[in-house]
Structure 1
């Protein structure tokens, strides 16, 4: 697939998702970057901002096998992964696959379940496989997790462990729509009865797993120059030396930021990465990997503003 073909594919996906989702263009663009870069995405926002519906519309447009897990406090790891059940007719154990065996998994309200259950996703997100009773089972090569969560200040939630957060390429904050967008939402959906599905709104598949694999392979045509790679490393390392941060970003964050920058360049039709690609993605890549110091929390420091400061302080290549 050429970069021009990739750009056309992205435009088609945006057009299909827009049939169901009003506004949220930035969210859709970031999901496209995550899909091309083969990363996982965490969506955070208040209830009722169409996080789940966005994931469903995105999956429908991609033509991927969709799976959904509604995370609850009593959910167990076996409810996600599946289990080996003994078949008395054959006297053998048979694998009953859980909902994680799909191509695009919606982990809905992931912070409603305890960390023990959240950890069931770790191996799947990192290595695209799961281990049950000592036996390894491969997941589809296009496996992607889109997780949603309500803000941590809501009641009845469990903070995601750092190891879990580090598996996500992006953490995207879903905002409320502006007044004009909200008026269109009410006009379009206010008279509809019952649950809504993307297909009911005309969303159809414009891709499939093979097409998306070709799209990811097209990233090999994008050049990441040495000075841009060095810029990524210096930016990430600056998070580990900042006085207001007790935990900085990991080397995995640097690798993911570089890969996402290549995907953004490709979606823009360029075969080279520029510093603006890195700057545009630094906040969604880093915001969930950093921990403020107690003093910074008392002072009310904002992580997004802090990352913006680091971008300004880190000299970008010309």
Structure 2
């Protein structure tokens, strides 16, 4: 280097913050290809994942709540499972249950859909509180306990639960213990006409 060349500064070199910011921007752009006009909801999902929290996504039917979560998981390359919460859904349908294996003569645990990176709990408020409670341990402790055995969930683990506004017929209010486990509640409105 000659005396006339300026010395490189640390401001010229990319930092870890710059790299993280660029990665988040790429994820946001990728999700934006599938879901238009929901930038705040996309940001909320990213914040929840980075903060190891869970998200409740509320909006009327048809505003792309489910598509938003699916696009989010695809953009990140994470395994996702979807559970449609209906009035007849049982807790074991979410967390898993013991199944008798006639060949071995023993019970074996069959994992439920909660054993994934992103669990899309679709219309969580359409199932009774007993089934909603199947998610409490998973959301708080990132594990499932069955028959005295504790099974860890994958890391990262995020529950993205969608719900319709409570005024809709056939919905149940989420118990306070369930609401406490969500880091964020994202309201997904109809996008603007130009979006």
User: Which residue of structure 2 lines up, in the alignment, with residue 154 of structure 1?
Assistant: 168
Write out aligned runs for 1:122-271 (5 A). Answer: 122-181=136-195
Whole-Å separation in 2 of the counterparts to 1:128 and 1:34: 15
Q: 1:117 aligns with which of 103, 109, 131?
A: 131
Query: Which runs of no fewer than 5 residues in structure 1 stay unpaired?
Result: 182-318
More helix by share: 1
Write out aligned runs for 1:5-20 (5 A). Answer: 5-20=19-34
Deviation, structure 1 residue 89: 1.2
Whole-Å separation in 1 of the counterparts to 2:45 and 2:103: 46
User: Is 1:82 the counterpart of 2:92 in the alignment?
Assistant: no
Deviation, structure 1 residue 172: 0.9
More strand by share: 2
Whole-Å separation in 1 of the counterparts to 2:186 and 2:28: 17
Alpha-carbon deviations, 1:178-199, whole Å to 9, x = none?
Answer: 1112xxxxxxxxxxxxxxxxxx
What's the secondary structure of 1:89's corresponding residue?
A: coil
Whole-Å separation in 2 of the counterparts to 1:99 and 1:76: 12
| Paired residues, number | 181
What's the secondary structure of 1:55's corresponding residue?
A: helix
Alpha-carbon deviations, 1:257-297, whole Å to 9, x = none?
Answer: xxxxxxxxxxxxxxxxxxxxxxxxxxxxxxxxxxxxxxxxx
Alpha-carbon deviations, 1:36-80, whole Å to 9, x = none?
Answer: 111100000100000000000000001111111000000000111
Deviation, structure 1 residue 87: 1.2
Whole-Å separation in 2 of the counterparts to 1:58 and 1:32: 9
User: Is 1:106 the counterpart of 2:120 in the alignment?
Assistant: yes
Whole-Å separation in 2 of the counterparts to 1:120 and 1:130: 9
Q: Which has the higher contact order (CA 8 A, sep 6+)?
A: 2
What's the secondary structure of 2:183's corresponding residue?
A: strand
Q: 1:61 aligns with which of 64, 75, 92?
A: 75
User: Is 1:50 the counterpart of 2:64 in the alignment?
Assistant: yes
What's the secondary structure of 2:24's corresponding residue?
A: helix
Alpha-carbon deviations, 1:70-97, whole Å to 9, x = none?
Answer: 0000000011111111112112211111
User: Is 1:29 the counterpart of 2:43 in the alignment?
Assistant: yes
Whole-Å separation in 2 of the counterparts to 1:178 and 1:144: 28
Alpha-carbon deviations, 1:101-149, whole Å to 9, x = none?
Answer: 1010000000000000000000000000001112111101201000000
CA RMSD of aligned residues (A): 1.0
Alpha-carbon deviations, 1:222-271, whole Å to 9, x = none?
Answer: xxxxxxxxxxxxxxxxxxxxxxxxxxxxxxxxxxxxxxxxxxxxxxxxxx
Question: Could you state the TM-score of these two structures normalised by the residue count of structure 1?
Answer: 0.56
The list of structure 1 runs, each at least 4 consecutive aligned residues, that deviate by more than 4 angstroms after superposition, is: none
User: Which residue of structure 1 lines up, in the alignment, with residue 55 of structure 2?
Assistant: 41
